[in-house]
Amino acid sequence: MTQHDFQEITRTAHALAEAARGVVLPYFRSAGLSAENKLSEGFDPVTAADKAAEQVMRSVLAEKRPDDAIIGEEFGVRAGRSGLTWVLDPIDGTRGFLAGTPTWGVLISVCDAGGPIFGMIDQPYVGERFWGGFGTAEMTGPMGDSSLRVRGSRVLSEAILFTTFPEVGTMAERAGFEAVAQHVKLTRFGMDCYAYALLAAGQIDLVIEAGLSNYDICAPIALIEAAGGIVTDWKGGKAHDGGRVLAAAGEEQHKAALDILSRFS
Distance separating alpha carbons of residues 115 and 103, to the nearest angstrom:
25
In contact, 154 and 183? CB cutoff 8 Å: no
Q: What is the pLDDT of residue 69?
A: 98
How deeply is 81 buried, as exposed, middle or buried, from its count of CB atoms within 10 A (0-12, 13-18, 19+)?
exposed
Q: What is the pLDDT of residue 8?
A: 96
Model's pTM, two decimal places? 0.95
* CA neighbor of 247 nearest in space, from 207, 188, 189, 198: 207
Q: Which DSSP string corresponds to the chain?
A: --HHHHHHHHHHHHHHHHHHHHHHTTTTT-TT---EE--SSS--EE-HHHHHHHHHHHHHHHHH-TTSEEEETTTEEE--SSS-EEEEEEEE-HHHHHHT-TT-EEEEEEEETTEEEEEEEEETTTTEEEEEETTEEEEEETTEEEE--------GGG-EEE-S-TT-SSHHHHHHHHHHHTTSSEEE---TTHHHHHHHTTS-SEEEEEEE-HHHHHHHHHHHHHTT-EEE-TTSS--TT-EEEEEESSHHHHHHHHHHHGGG-
Query: Mind listing the pLDDT tens digit for each residue in 167-177?
Result: 888 999 999 99
How deeply is 163 buried, as exposed, middle or buried, from its count of CB atoms within 10 A (0-12, 13-18, 19+)?
buried
Q: What is the pLDDT of residue 21?
A: 98
Residues of the chain with pLDDT under 50: none
Q: What is the pLDDT of residue 39?
A: 55
* CA neighbor of 198 nearest in space, from 144, 252, 139, 119: 139
SS3 assignment for 60-128? HHHHHCCCCEEEECCCEEECCCCCCEEEEEEEECHHHHHHCCCCCEEEEEEEECCEEEEEEEEECCCCE
Q: What is the pLDDT of residue 40?
A: 55
Q: What is the pLDDT of residue 37?
A: 72
In contact, 93 and 80? CB cutoff 8 Å: no
